[in-house]
Structure 1
Amino acid sequence: MVENFIYYLGLVLVIIGAIMLANRLKVAYPIILVIAGLLISFIPGLPVLKIDPELIFIIFLPPLLYEASFAVSWKEIWKMRRIITSFAFIVVFLTAISVAFAANLYIPGFSLALGFVLGGIVSPPDAVSAGAILKFVKVPKNLSTVLEGESLFNDASSLIIFRFAMVAVATRQFLWQDAALSFGWMVFGGLGIGVLLAFVFLEIEKIFPTDVNMDAILSLVAPYVMYIAAEEFHSSGVLAVVSGGLFLSVRRHQIFRTSQSRLRGSNVWESFVFLINGIVFLLIGLDLPEILVGLHKEGISLSDAIGYGLLITAVLILVRFISSFGAVFVTLIMRNFINVADRNPGMKAPVLMGWTGMRGVVSLAAALSIPVVMENGQPFPHRDLILFITFIVILATLIIQGLTLPTLIKALNLSDSGGGYMSEEESEHFLRREMRRVAFRYLDENYKERRTENEYFSQLMDRWEQEDKEDSIHKLSEEAKEIYFETLEQQRIWLREENRRNPNIDEEYIRHYLTRLDLEEERLRM
């Protein structure tokens, strides 16, 4: 037991070292982690790292999805809703269908139902992989919004396909009318349960007194409660977490009510998700030897299995490219009838979208969740081959697409229109000017009669006139600080309202200034 603990502790150190190396080389860390796991797996004498397939989804997916939904901007998702919806649902369905028929035609013994199992597993691109790569290069705002929004919802659609295909494999039948009803309940039931539970958590924060630690713990518990509750009612746990996360994201100031709570919660989540992502990508490499043993038992040669994996990878890339260009042509037609977010998408954007189809966390979790034995006592057919193909798809897309994506982005030289938002310089000038105006207005309306009575008031005004002078903050008395905190809160209220009513402001800048206000308040309090 002690030896296993040391091994697990060593894996955490490997994750940290691999990500440090990836940052040093300016390579996406999922690539380094997969390779590191693969190398470790061939070291003799190490214990086998196993997780119950039923726990894969519950342990890893809820926090990853919740953090992703909390990080995105609902305003931007709504703006790009048509293209996001098409990629998250239509493209995923087309991809799963293409993979199912390709597997059925070219892989011996693969039924169409098994093909849909594989299609549901490998159809969703991975947001973590794309995000890790895109942080080294700059892409247009609209494209990054589509990639982030797509990743939130494509997991749900792919896992719904996966679940129905698993039932078809087990029962050897597929009833379309039952599937349609089940699909409707999974989608709308998942969305409803997620929003309902998010509202409950919001009310708990309002009614009961909580401190910084409680806020952080409740935020960690929330996605698991949403996921498990939705799954218990046979709806989509993924959609429940996504909808609940988006609902609370817009109301984050009501969940984390103090500056300390917001800053602490952000740090906790950043570290937690960092560790989970690292473990999952390391698991991809660590699982290969066991998968190879299973392939040998099935009587499938390694070369054939690699060929099947590369075939499915080629199908995935081809379908995504076709879908990306198809989305452009649809946009060019529909712009004549409705308002679209980008009226002139060009031909460079679909090339980039087509090449951002790296697979990762969700595909691995789905593959590992396949039971070894079905409910009827029969072994699940071709389980190890499905796992191996998934491994090849993840590895190939991470290495082939992941390593070349930065070069492709630079070669395309995409112009950033800013998504219709003000430029960074314009946004900064506007926000700083208006935030100062809000502060002065609040001070004049509430403390005007005290301007000549108290020295601290003039010091406070001096703080606003010389906002960038760090030493001015130390001049404030305790009484002045309390008034200063009130003005900071008024600025927060204005920023949130401005984000809702002003379509020309990028929410990224709003959040940046909200964080600055929290840091400012904490610096004074400490």
Structure 2
Amino acid sequence: MSVQLLAAIVVAIIVVTLANAFANRIGVAGPLVIMAIGVAVSLAPAVPAVTIAPEIILVGILPPLLYSAAVAAPAREFTREAGAIGGLSVVLVIASSLLLGLALSWAIPGLGFPLAVALGAILSPTDAVATTIVKSLGAPRRVVTILEGESLLNDATALVTLRTAIAATAAGFSVITTIGSFIWAVLSAVVVGGLVGVIALRLRAWTRSATANTALGFTIPYLAYLPTEYLGGSGLVAAVAAGLVCGQGAARWLTPEQRISDKLNWSTVESVLEGVVFLAMGLQLWGIIERNIAADEGLGRAVGIAALAFAVVMVARAAYVFPMVSVRNTILARSVRRRLSAADGDRRIVGRPDARRARADSDYFQSSPLTWRHSTVIVWAGMRGVVTLAAAQTLPADTPERDLLVLVAFIVAAGSLAVQGGTLGFVVKMLGLRGEGREGPSREEIRAVDGELRRLTAHAMKEGRIAIPDGADAASVLATSHLFRTLRADARGPAGGERLELELELIRAMRAELRTLARSGRYSTPSLRYVRDELDAYEISVKLHLDGAE
């Protein structure tokens, strides 16, 4: 590694960190500030044109970035919104690619329909920066969940569509072959990614060293990506699948130290990598313009084509989202009523987990119904980003008017980030949705989960499933639990070790009950994870005091 490259990496990390801190102070999304810095630097006369190989982003950065998002994904909420997420990340991406193919084959004569569809696939996926902005505005959680799921999966759909379209330009278009290639790319990725996630959890459970676990954890996205690409599948889908498996299996297989370490590590990785790709996006502006000018293409034509493409994707998104939300509300209402009716009609199944989940699902959908206002936010939050630019640069070198196509992709991506990202807060405020939700878990729900855990644990002690000291009862034990001051006082005496062992038993019991609560669907994933993190941190503290007592 050259000194210049090392210096560039160090400077990039510093710029990303400081820009995010500055953006938080002024209330602007960090990626927008970072991209603006990159654009400003690229336009400086002393700075040469910057060209970044697309493989660096597609292979080096995107797998861990998508994996980190998948690890933190709220699985229960994703399951509830699976219809909306699947429609936006698969159906809408494919439909937008085909519509853009028709429009771009007309706007760029000689391009051909398959290549036009390839460019359409490049312009179709939305960027995760929208989720960051919407979260910070306190938009409803259902909107955030849908946007999170869409941004997590639609990149892979778009890249699979792009690969299929490019292959069709060389081998000729065949509906059966195209559909078969798409299905294989997704299914092979799900299988390989899921298998890698399962194996990784077992290995990390066996490897107790914190440093070894951290190192092994960083390899998981690539262990899923590389073999899947070799098999002709989508490596990004595999990285997402591995992340979902590892994220959901962490509570069962990993230790508290591993879970807390993973949370901090992947949060850092996600923040740095996301900032780096937006900085790279801005830095490449002048180089893209220079290549386009050298190819004797005027900027006006690129702007016109980009405006057409942007109009098509936004109209297609609106035409899909509004009916989808309306139809989905009707279907969900009928489905929930049917499940509740079945549970109420048969008293034998009222207390069964599926009946409780039906009741929880009903409460979830009724507490936050989606209206035309929420649909408007979902439509306007569909901005393009770094995947669009990186994917555009993977077009074959002999692609007709390749420089023009790359510039169009950049204008659409940068323009949508600037226009939609800069006005999304205004739109949310005008629709009266600002502050309707909140970023992070609900304090009321956290207290409810804590109370439920204490009740269930007390019941377990009364039944004798948790041994308590002689002369004590469940109420007194729980009253002194979770108090760091009491722990320190108890640990000084000869009975301190026994008391600390009891605390560990309580923590294990509460964690088991927490998994039961998670399966019930009554509480949100952020609140459940917050309580789990508290238990993990408390267990680490207890173990430290137990070591001191010995």
TM normalised by structure 2 equals 0.85
Q: 1:483 aligns with which of 492, 497, 502?
A: 502
Q: Equivalent of 1:296, from 290, 293, 296? A: 293
What CA RMSD, in Å, does the superposition of the two structures yield over aligned residues?
2.7
Amino acid at match of 1:114: L
Q: 1:505: Cα distance to partner? A: 1.2
Quote the residue 1:270 is aligned against: 267
Mean Cα deviation higher: 59-68 or 482-491? 482-491
CA contact (8 A) 1:57 1:369 kept: no
Instruction: Tell me, yes or no, if the aligned pair for 1:4 and 1:47 is still in contact at 8 Å.
Output: no
Which whole-Å CA distance do the structure 2 matches of 1:328 and 1:399 have between them? 27
The one-character-per-residue Cα deviations of 1:93-130 (angstroms, maximum 9, x if unpaired) are: 11111211111112344322221111111101112x11
Q: Would you say the 8 A contact 1:28–1:132 is kept in 2?
A: yes
Preserved contact between residue 70 and residue 249 of structure 1 (Cα < 8 Å): yes
Partner of 1:63: 64
Instruction: Return the alpha-carbon distance in structure 2 between the equivalents of residues 303 and 411 of structure 1.
Output: 33
The answer to whether the Cα contact below 8 Å between 2:457 and 2:506 also exists between their aligned partners in 1 is: yes
Matched, 1:151 2:151: yes
Q: Please tell me whether the aligned partners of residues 212 and 261 of structure 1 are also in contact (alpha carbons under 8 angstroms).
A: yes
Pairs within 5 Å for 1:443-458: 445=464, 448=467, 450-452=469-471
Q: Which amino acid aligns with 1:84?
A: I
Query: Structure 2 residue aligned with 1:232, among 205, 225, 230?
Result: 230
Structure 1 residues 97, 485: CA separation in 2 closer, same or farther (over 3 Å shift)?
same
AA of the residue aligned to 2:393: L
Matched with 1:211 is 209
CA 1:8–1:471: 2 relative to 1, 3 Å: same
Distance 1:187 1:247 in 2: 16
Deviation of 1:28 after TM superposition, in Å, equals 0.8
How many residues are paired up? 507
Q: For 1:72-83, what aligned pairs fall within 5 Å after superposition?
A: 72-83=73-84
Letter of the 2:286 counterpart: P
Looking at structure 1, the residues matched to 115 and 83 of structure 2 have their Cα atoms a distance apart, in angstroms, of: 31
Map 1:46-445 to 2 at 5 A: 46=47, 49-127=50-128, 129-169=129-169, 171=170, 173-206=172-205, 208-255=206-253, 257-331=254-328, 334=331, 338-339=335-336, 342=365, 345-371=370-396, 373=397, 379-414=398-433, 424=442, 427-441=445-459, 445=464
Instruction: Assess if the C-alpha contact under 8 Å between 1:69 and 1:249 holds in 2.
Output: yes
| Counterparts of 1:412 and 1:89, CA distance in 2 | 28
Give, in whole Å, the separation in 1 of the partners of 2:418 and 2:434: 26
TM-fit CA distance, 1:269: 0.9
> Which deviates the most, 49-58 or 300-309?
49-58
Tell me the SS of whatever aligns to 2:10: helix
Shift of 1:37: 0.4
> How many angstroms does 1:146 deviate by?
1.1
Q: 1:15 to 1:138 in 2, by over 3 A?
A: same
Distance 1:428-1:9 versus aligned 2 partners, 3 A rule: closer
C-alpha deviation, 1:236, in angstroms: 1.7
Secondary structure class of the residue paired with 1:381: coil
Say if 1:66 and 1:245, in contact at 8 Å, map to a contact too: yes
Structure 1 Cα separation of the partners of residues 452 and 185 of structure 2:
45
Query: Structure 2 stretches of 5 or more lacking a match?
Result: 338-360, 545-550
- Give the TM-score, by structure 1 length: 0.89
What is the CA–CA distance in structure 2 between the aligned matches of 1:418 and 1:22, rounded to whole Å? Answer: 21
Q: CA deviation at 1:162?
A: 0.6
Offset of 1:354 from its aligned partner?
0.8
Deviations along 1:475-499, one digit per CA (max 9) or x if unpaired, are 2325122321221122111111210
> SS at 2:136's partner residue?
coil
User: Which letter maps to 2:20?
Assistant: I
Matched residues in 2 for 1:198 and 1:180: separation?
27
Q: Is the 8 A contact 1:99 1:316 kept in 2?
A: yes
* Aligned residue number for residue 346 of structure 2: none
State the secondary structure of the residue aligned to 1:62: helix
Partner of 1:18: 19
Matched with 1:474 is 488
Query: Which residue identity does 1:249 align to in structure 2?
Result: G
Residues 209 and 415 of structure 1: is their aligned pair in 2 closer, same or farther, counting only changes over 3 Å? Answer: closer
Corresponding residue for 2:478?
464
What's the offset of the Cα at 1:439?
A: 4.0
- Per the TM alignment, residue 134 of structure 1 is displaced from its structure 2 partner at its CA by 1.7
Contact (CA 8 Å) 2:84, 2:324: kept in 1 or not?
yes
Give the match for residue 376 of structure 1: none
Partner Cα separation in structure 1 for residue 502 and residue 49 of structure 2: 59
Measure, in 2, the Cα distance between the counterparts of 1:51 and 1:403.
26
Shift of 1:426: 5.1
AA at the equivalent of 2:374: A
Asked whether the 8 Å contact 1:120–1:159 carries over to 2, the reply is yes
Shift of residue 23, structure 1, vs aligned partner:
0.8
Question: Post-superposition shift, 1:194?
Answer: 1.3
* Deviation at residue 461 of structure 1 after TM alignment: 7.3
Give yes or no for contact 1:53–1:370 (8 Å, CA) kept in 2. Answer: no
Tell whether 2:505 aligns with 1:507: no
Letter in 2 for 1:159: L
Paired residues of 1:205 and 1:254 also in contact (CA < 8 A): no
Deviations 1:184-207 (A, max 9, x none): 21121111111122222223234x
> Is the Cα–Cα contact under 8 Å of residues 356 and 405 in structure 1 kept in the other structure?
yes
> Matches of 1:521 and 1:503 in 2, distance apart?
25
Identify if the C-alpha distance between structure 1 residues 467 and 217 changes in structure 2 by more than 3 Å, giving closer, same or farther.
Answer: same
SS at match of 1:299: coil
Q: Which amino acid aligns with 1:130?
A: A
Q: Could you list the per-position Cα deviations for residues 159-204 of structure 1 after superposition, in whole angstroms to 9, with x for gaps in the alignment? A: 11111122233x1621222112212211211111111222222232
Q: CA deviation at 1:467?
A: 5.4
Preserved contact between residue 49 and residue 286 of structure 2 (Cα < 8 Å): no
Post-superposition CA distance 1:60-112 (Å, at most 9, x none):
11111111111112211111111111111111111111211111112344322
In structure 2, the CA distance between the partners of 1:347 and 1:53, relative to structure 1 (3 Å rule), is: closer
Deviation string 1:265-304 (CA, Å, 9 cap, x unpaired) is: 1111111111111110001111111111210122111122
Structure 2 vs 1, CA of residues 483 and 368 (structure 1 numbering), >3 Å: closer, same or farther? farther
Q: Which runs of 5+ in 1 are unaligned?
A: 374-378
